[in-house]
Chain A
Amino acid sequence: MAQLISAVELWQNETSLPSVPTFSQSLDKVFGSDGVQLNTMNELLGLPGSGKTQLCIQLCASIQIPTILGGLDAEALYIDTNTNFTAKRFKETVVGSLNRCHKLLENPAEVDELAALRRLHYVNAFGLEKFCAFMYQLPNVINKHDKIKLIVIDSITFPFKVGISSTQRTGLLFRQMAELQKLAVQKQIAIVMTNEMSTRMGLSSGPLVGSLGDAWAHRCNKRVLLSHDEHDASNRIALCLKSNNSPNTVGRFRITQDGIRDIETKT
C-alpha cells in the first residue's frame, strides 16, 4: 500500500540522499544538486558523439568514490542495448577518477584496478525480447547485488526501433518505467538513460527533438541535452531541458582521457 507522508518527512528524506558526482562542477549544477541524485530518473539527450555514453561511463566510475571523500562506495549496473560500452574506456575512466580521489587522501593507496572493474555489472540486452526479459528480472538482480546504486540504460530507444507498434511501445515503456522507478525509490537507486534525437519537420520549436515522442518527454524527472560547443570543438555543452527541482541551466565540460572534467579556465 502506498504510504502517505508529509512534505516535511519527504524533505528530511531528500536532503539526506547523496548524489553521484560527474567530476565536473559545471555539469553537476545542471543536474541540480551535486550531480545525479539517487531516487531520480534522468535522461540524457544528444546527437551521436555528444558524450552521452562517456557521461554514463563516468557516472559508473563516480559511484565508486570512497565514503571517506563523501562518495557512495557502491556499484553500478550498465544495461547496454547498442554495443556502446567499451571496457577499455571504462578502465581508463575509473582508474583516472579513483587516482584523482586517492590523491586527496592523507595516505594515498594504490588503486586496485581489478577490484574497481569488478564493481561494474554489465548486461548486453540486444533486441526487444532480451531487453524486456532483463527488465522483468531486474528486481531479482538488485536483490542479489544490493550494492548497486546506479542503473544506466544506454540507450532506451534502441530496443524499441523495430518489431513493435508505436502505441504498444508507449504502453510497454510506461509500464517498465513505473516498475523501474518503484524499484529505484524503494532501494534508493539513481537511474540514467540515454535517448537519441530524431527529426520532426514542421515543429515550431525546431525540427530536432528527442526520440520516443512528446509523451515520453514527460516521463523522466530530469532531461539534459548534450552537444558540442560551436566555438571550441573539444568542449561540450549541457543544457537542462526539464527538471523537477532546479531552474534550467547551462553547463560546460570536456571529455578527457580520464573521463568527464571541468573546462580549465585560462589564466
Chain B
Amino acid sequence: MNNNQASTQQKLLIVGNGMAAGRMVDELIARDPHRFSITVIGDEPHGSYNRIMLSPVLSGESTALSIIQKPAAWYAENGMRFLAGVKVVRINRAQKTVDCDNGEQVEYDHLIMATGSRPARIPAKNQDLTGVMAFRTLDDVDTILALGETAKHAIVIGGGLLGLEAAYGMAVRGIDVTLVHRSGWLLNRQLDSASGALLEQVMAHKGVRFRLSREVVSFNGNRRVESATLTGGETLPCDIAVIATGITPNAELGFEAGLEGKRGIEVNDYLATSDPAISAIGECSEHNGETFGLVEPIWQHCTSLADRLALNVRTAYKNMPVATKLKVSGVQVFSAGDWLTTDQHREVVYQDVARNIYRKLLLKNNRIVGIVFFGDVRDGQYFFELMEHGVVVTQALPQLLMGRAFCSEVPQAAASKEVAAA
C-alpha cells in the first residue's frame, strides 16, 4: 500500500469481532478493497468464528478449528489491523478516538459498533459458583468440555434454541442433562404448544430430561456448584449449570458515549446511530424497537451498511420475519412470522403423530402470516417466500401444505410480487 493511497483512505474502526464484524469486513472488501483502512478490535483471543456452530462443536459434530473463519493472520494478509483480546473502554466522540483496556488509543473517521450481546441474567442466587456458566463463546465450550470430563449431571436453564443445543451437545457426550424452562413448552418463541410437545418428545429420546414451567431459584454448593433448587422446591444435582435464557445487547459502551437507544444502540434504516460518524450492527443494535439474535437480519445490516459506506448507496434495512432453525441432529424445526394461533388467524395444520411431523400455516386475508413446521421442514423456505411476498394461497389449499410437488398449480412468490408491485 503506498502513502498516496494511505492518505486518501478513511480510517474505519470496527469494535467487536463476532460474526457481524467478520461479515462486515467481507462485505466492505467485496465492494471496494482499498476504500478504507480498517482496524478491528475484539475482546476474544480468536479471529472471527461462526458462533452458530458452537453447538456442533459442543456435541462433537464439528471441531473448534473448523468454525474459525478468519484466523488472526488473515487480517494482516488483507491489509487490516486486528487487536485480539483487547477491550474498548471508552469512545471519545469529539476526538473520534476510542480508548482500549491495554492503554492504546485508536483513531477513526467512521466507527462501527459490533459489540454483540451477552447472556441475559436470571434472578437465581449464587450464580458466581464455579460451573455456573454461559454458552456463548469458544471459551465457554472449552470450559464445558473440561468440566464434562468428570461431570455427571448438568442442568441447562432456558428452552430456547441455544439452551436446547447446549443440552443436546452435553447429552451426546454422555452427561445426564436436565433442561429447566420457564414456559410450558420448548421454543415458546417459535413453536406452539403442540409442536413444542413433539419437540420435547424427540429431545427426550435423545436423553434430555425436562422441567417445564420451572425456574432456578438458587444454585447450591461450596465454591463449585453441586445442585440447583427450582421453583416448587425440587433440587437437582448438577456439576455444570449452563444459563441460556437469552441475550442482552452490549450497548453500554455506546450509551456511555451518549448514543441513543433503549435496549440496544438505536439505528435508522441505514444503520446510522444518533452520531453520524458512528454506525451499529448486529446484536448490540436496536432498530424500530427490535433487537436481534439470529443471523439473517444481521447479514442484512452488513449489506446495507457496506452499500452506504463503500458505495454511498442507500439500501434501506427492513425488519422482516425470520425463519428459525434448530441445530440438533435429526430434529427439524422451521418457524417464521406468527407462531401462536389467535382468533384472527385461519389455522391449517398437518399432523402425523406417529412420525412426529407437525406443519402449521397461519393465514390472514388468505395470505400466510405464520409458519410452524416440526419434523419435516421441506418447502419451508418456499412458504417463507410466499409469506414475505404476501401471496394469496387459499386456492392451493389444502394440497399446498403437503408441499409444492402435490399442487397442480403452484403459487409463485416472485410472480405475485410483481403483480403486487403493479
Partners in one complex: no
Q: Which residues of B contact A (CB under 8 A)?
A: none
